[in-house]
Structure 1
């Protein structure tokens, strides 16, 4: 019984965190991927366990290197790929990703896409809302090169959480620092 009560309290705390206004959610600097990347991450987010990753990415063609989450309600995934990349290739990746996503996700609402400068580095991004398992998911994908390889970051939350989390997702993108 104590375990059930503790589980319910933990779930309620996570729901309350997800429902807090963006101005109340603190972002903290974290170094990820063996110190290759520094980025702001919402305080209280934890690294997803192997079991959670197995469940969350059971049907995915590839699995991220690391995922931070607040009990699976909101997630920030980092995929440090084996694909070669440099600053000159960011626009090429952006063009290819945009073309592939537009083709794959036909029922998607697009908010933006392109390449922007973040800390003197080119970062590509795609921002959209897509249907997923019976509901809509807000997604901000952003990517750049890190030590000669492609880093892809994906921020996800439910559509109803977009008003609170979209500004934070953009702050996270704008905080990205890659160690060359």
Structure 2
């Protein structure tokens, strides 16, 4: 299977695009379906007959904290090599017990100013449309999540070996560089798992540098 993260990291050209009114309508509909998010990391969601509870985890060398379903686990290297054959596989891959739902994070060396994020989202969206076997394009959105982090979201359904996959590509800036995140599941499970995707996105937060905090505390004591 060709995975989104591998293809994005190999892209060398970025084009500009703008979402149309139909896309905006789709995004509004998608947003209305997401569950409301509470700051309590012990929040639970009901997915069909399953209760999903969340726990905070730190990723990318402790720079980012995010709430992940407790039943998810870090994908073993052997499995990651099979599912993501390219050496450009995501650095962090959390997966469900059956491996059908995945949450990934990958740092890049692409530098970006926060104010450049909206244009970058549209550039990446245009590239995706040119390289992915898109079945259903759902558009782009720029949000500020519950922790004040600006995140670009690109939503689409793409063809896969085992069936169509629903994807949410996440773009945000950390320490001046772009971070690429992703949530994906089978299209047939999309409606059930959208609240989980929403919870994950809303929970992403930057972890303050400990040395910086100690320095500031020391200054206050002077």
Q: Shift in Å at residue 31 of structure 1?
A: 1.2
**TM-score, length-normalised on structure 2?**
0.67
Partner of 1:165: 193
Contact 1:130 1:137 in 2 (8 A): yes
Report SS of the residue matched to 1:64. Answer: coil
Q: Shift in Å at residue 114 of structure 1?
A: 2.0
Structure with greater proportional strand content: 1
Q: Which has the larger radius of gyration?
A: 2
2:142 paired residue among 109, 115, 140? 115
Which aligned runs of 4 or more in structure 1 are off by greater than 3 angstroms?
Answer: none
| Pairwise CA RMSD | 2.0
**TM-score, length-normalised on structure 1?**
0.81
Q: Which runs of 5 or more structure 1 residues have no equivalent in the other structure? A: 1-18
Q: Shift in Å at residue 115 of structure 1?
A: 1.1
2:56 paired residue among 14, 17, 29? 29
Q: Shift in Å at residue 61 of structure 1?
A: 7.0
The alpha-carbon distance between structure 1 residues 134 and 164, as it changes in their structure 2 partners (threshold 3 A), is same
How many equivalent pairs are there? 161
What's the CA shift string for 1:111-159, capped at 9, x where partnerless? 2312111222321110111111151001111110111211111111111
The alpha-carbon distance between structure 1 residues 22 and 61, as it changes in their structure 2 partners (threshold 3 A), is farther
The alpha-carbon distance between structure 1 residues 129 and 61, as it changes in their structure 2 partners (threshold 3 A), is farther
